[in-house]
Amino acid sequence: MGLNSKVDISSKVLAMAVGIFDSGLGGLTVLDAVIKKLPEESFVYMGDNLHAPYGVREPSDIFDLTIKSIERMWDENCDLIILACNTASAAALKRIQEEWLPKNKRVLGVFVPLIERLTKRNWGDNSPPREVDIQNVALFATPSTVASRAFQRELAFRAIGVDVESQACGGLVDAIEDGDIILAEALVRSHVDALKRKMPKPQAAILGCTHYPLLEEVFQDALGKNVQVYSQANLVAESLSDYLKRHPDLSSTNKPKNRFITTGDPAIVSMRASQFLKRSVEFTSA
């Protein structure tokens, strides 16, 4: 299975775990939230740091990289995987679910909980689209997520009359991954200014990349206190908790144990991940 030698496989079968995947470190914001919400579960976090960022790649490339990582996480006994990567969710998830995914596996994205909260209706609600309270929405995301228009497509199934103005935040993921917070904060303010030139008074702002919650306070300050900022981590945690209640067969069965794997340099990724989460995190090679 290509497992790192540090992983104990003496039992031959690894304990079932929920997979959390991201192209880099941004998904750690989601992981942290789901661990706090579901401390009884085991999680495997995989970062495709070798190929990050995904946000500037073509959809076909994103699809190929994503399914390769999904298959690697199956080796870790993850029958349920959360794509904690908005770019992968936007550019690849629909194709993965419709054309590629085996029936005994589950792969979910991060847009659904966000749209549920924004429209105040559950995903299973198939009634016609209707008007919602929020009419002007700013979407901050990677270039690939913006180009996919996946957020607008999914929102249109449930709401009418919502004006979504997107801002591709070029360079922001790289700055966060590199730990250059001064540059990252400057980029946030620049991108917010650019968005406001197109939509002067947004009612709500979507942080459409799991890296961005690390700078949520900067986004909020730049947007102003009257703008509701929606961050995904806690929404995904709540949604996953509900999903596992409805699908208990996908829950962990043994004592919780979290594992971290990466396609990048484990030492470098471990150091940066520890800085992200403000606690020690040790990655092994994927």
**82 and 232 Cβ atoms separated by less than 8 Å:** no
Sort strands 136-141 and 130-131 into parallel, antiparallel or unpaired: unpaired
**83 and 89 Cβ atoms separated by less than 8 Å:** yes
Euclidean distance between CA atoms 135 and 160, whole angstroms? 9
Sort strands 106-108 and 136-141 into parallel, antiparallel or unpaired: unpaired
- Of these residues, 85, 137, 187, 273, which one is catalytic? 85
Residues with Cβ within 8 Å of 89's Cβ and at least 6 positions away in sequence, in order, are 83, 109, 110, 111, 150
**46 and 20 Cβ atoms separated by less than 8 Å:** yes
| Residue 209 a catalytic site member | yes
| Residue 85 a catalytic site member | yes
- Of these residues, 88, 176, 209, 215, which one is catalytic? 209
Euclidean distance between CA atoms 61 and 187, whole angstroms? 26
Q: Provide the token pair at 116.
A: 């549920």
Active site residues: 85, 209
